[in-house]
Amino acid sequence: MACRIGELVLGCRDPEALARFWCEVLDFVVLDREDNEYFEIGPREGFGGPQPTIILSRRDEPEPGKSRLHIDVNATDRDQDAELERLLELGARPADVGQTGEESWHVLADPEGNEFCLLRARIRPL
């Protein structure tokens, strides 16, 4: 038997704002919240489905060093260029991590600077 990812946890200064951002990016909904300190977002069917949920937890100070976790996303209903435009309109911004410009993905940062990548391959929606 193997494990699978049930949830990802991301520390942030403004969990509510990041919950709105990632809900729009991933077509997720807020599943649970505790004041403005903690938001759990995920697919409409909730925790335990084919996709992990994301826990956004308030952290006033960023942890030292570079995060070892980032999220990769794939468009489901449009090509990569159209999805890039949508993500930028939602508040993402390009991030430079030393890429050459020849990559098939785009490195972006969410509104709090957490890096994530938009991959080229399109995947079927669930």
pLDDT above 60 (res 1) = no
Over residues 9-14, the mean pLDDT reads 90
- The model carries a pTM of 0.81
For residue range 15-32, list pLDDT tens digits in order: 999 999 999 999 999 999
Mean pLDDT of 109-114: 92
pLDDT at residue number 63: 66
Summarised one tens digit per residue, pLDDT across range 41-100 is: 999 998 878 889 999 999 887 667 667 678 889 898 899 999 999 999 999 999 998 999
3-class SS of residue 120: coil
What is residue 126's predicted lDDT score, i.e. its pLDDT? 64
Confidence of residue 108 (pLDDT cuts 50, 70, 90): very high
- Distance (Å, rounded) from C-alpha 44 to C-alpha 14? 22
Pairing of strands 93-94, 115-119: unpaired
Q: Which residue has the tokens 């919950």?
A: 19
Cβ atoms within 10 Å of 87's Cβ, excluding its own: 21
Rounded distance, CA 1 to CA 84, Å?
Answer: 37
